[in-house]
Amino acid sequence: MRIATWNVNSLKAREGRVEEWLALRTPDVLLMQETKLSDEAAPVLPFRMAGYELAHHGEGRWNGVAIASRVGIADVSFGFEGRGPDAEGARFVAATCGGIRLISVYAPNGRALETPFYAAKLDWFDRLIEWIARSARPDDALILGGDLNVAPGDADVYDPLVYIGTTHTSAPERHAFGELIAWGLVDLYRLHHPEPGRFTWWDYRAGNFHKGLGMRIDHLLGTQSIAERCVGAEIDRDARKGKLPSDHAPMWIDLA
DNA sequence: ATGGTTGTTGCACAA
């Protein structure tokens, strides 16, 4: 079973590339973020033609998350029910696919440390952790995936010195990521790739992708039973290449 | 990297 996550940076702009990628990499489930679509505009029919059911949660313009599955999709939940992250836009959708509880999240960016947006980001993580602790157990088969907008360690950025005093690497953000791990989630990419310098996002500007100036901020975290089944993990850098890519690469894991 | 890009029910602003 292959589970993938991808911040597509507009599913409208990326629909063709996403469909090509589904055919190429054949994930059973794809978690998406930043669809930037309303539910009415979600491309349910094209996904169905490709063999995937789509659960979408979005208000259009900004944010928006989705889960596409070809192994069934049930018990769709928007998680915070309007009291948390959804106050800042649609950032959470959960569903059960192929016997696994999956959550697709898009964490707030945070913008800059001294802003209310950063405080809201930390608050969002608090509510995410609360939701998980209340709604799931560490011995469930559960995967939390998406754009967490946190590089959990110095190995997850091209140069730690560049990020001093910025978001994505601050101690409180890394602490929030650590709380997810402490609850019982395993960083499934790191399980297979301990090496530094593996990134999922590169700024569009300044040729950063080609210079290797990126960060690992998209994640697939799984409970212990998932980690035990996880036989591989890859970031698809190729999908960041070519004409009009997302600024994020997709990542996937394979489960036995 | 104090920005060279890309996205948006765009026409500034978010990332």
Q: What is the pLDDT of residues A113-170, one digit of tens each?
A: 999 999 999 999 999 999 999 999 999 999 999 999 999 999 999 999 999 999 999 9
Residues paired with residue A144 on neighbouring β-strands, in sequence order:
A103, A221
Q: CA(A36)–C1'(B8) in Å?
A: 8
Residue among A70, A68, A74 at smallest CA distance from A35: A68
Average pLDDT over residues A200-218: 96
The pLDDT assigned to A165 comes to 94
Sheet holding A92-97, edge to edge: A74-77, A92-97, A100-106, A142-147, A218-222, A186-187
The answer to whether the pTM exceeds 0.75 is yes
pLDDT surpassing 80 at residue A50: yes
How far apart, in Å, are the Cα atoms of A12 and each of A64, A83, A176, A208?
A: 12, 28, 31, 24
Closest amino acid to nucleotide B9 (CA–C1') = A61
Residue A142 CA to its chain's centroid (Å): 14
Tokens of A173: 């953000």
Find where tokens 């850098």 sit. A237
User: Is residue A246 exposed (0-12), middle (13-18) or buried (19+ Cβ within 10 Å)?
Assistant: buried
pLDDT surpassing 70 at residue A85: no
For residue A81, name the pLDDT band (cuts at 50, 70, 90): low
Query: What domains does chain A contain, in order, with CATH numbers?
Result: 2-255 (3.60.10.10)
The percent of residues above 70 in pLDDT, for chain A, comes to 96
Residue among A7, A62, A64, A63 at smallest CA distance from A248: A7
3-state helix vs strand vs coil in chain A, percent to 5: 35, 25, 40
Average pLDDT over residues A37-43: 95
Average pLDDT over residues A98-123: 95
Nucleotides of B under 7 A from a protein CB: 1, 3-10, 14-15
Q: CA(A130)–C1'(B7) in Å?
A: 32
